Amino acid sequence: MIKALTKYRIPKHRLLLNVIFLLLSLCIVNISFADEKEVEDFPWEIFYPAFIKKSIDKDKDGFTKEQGDCNDSDPSINPDATEVCGDGIDQDCDGSDLPCLTCADIAGYWEGKYSENYCQGGGPTNANHSANFRSDCSVTLTIPLLGGSFPGTFALFDHTIVINVDIGYDPCGTYTLTGTVDGNRIDGTISSTGGSSGTFDFNKID
């Protein structure tokens, strides 16, 4: 009786293995004629470990969709790509295009004041200042407290202005003024590489 069961089970198991082999062969043949998208979307994890599907890098830029490539058909777009501002393309796949800081025609003479907490621990200071913006994206600040004029650069995007001024000998280092332009008025904040902080405002004179 035992021998008879053994003889029966062996052919049955062989038949099952043959059926599985045939199904796998059909899948492989079908996939060999499929396009790249079909291959990528095929549920590989049914037959193989999931990492095989994740290893597909269509544009050969070193990143797959699972690794953050937001356009796997363009090798210039991946998480390590350099973002180009204002072109409407998200090259580095961070979710948005980088806006460009562009110059605007706010050239003229401006006056105002600032309040600053000194970077070396001193109390807040207040002083008048003036700025001469030029159309070539540069600015000269005159701050009486420091007794001099200091060149810098500015850029304007939408209504936001960013001014970078290197005071030079000042221990607070390079100042960055970030403000909002509203007609003939600019209000904003001050920071510096040395830790200074404060606020400022400009009013256009001419």
Looking at residue 5, its pLDDT comes to: 47
Return the minimum-mean-pLDDT range out of 14-23, 34-43, 136-145: 34-43
Range ranked top by mean pLDDT from 53-62, 98-107, 148-157: 148-157
> Can you tell me the mean pLDDT for 23-31?
61
Give yes or no for residue 204 having a pLDDT over 70: yes
**Structure-model confidence comparison of residues 84 and 136, the more confident one:** 84
**Structure-model confidence comparison of residues 122 and 162, the more confident one:** 162
Looking at domain 108-204, does it have CATH number 2.40.160.90? Answer: yes
Domain spans in the chain, listed from the N-terminal domain onward: 108-204
Give yes or no for residue 32 having a pLDDT over 70: no
The tokens describing 143, both together, are 């701050």
Report pLDDT digits (tens) over 39-50: 556 555 555 555
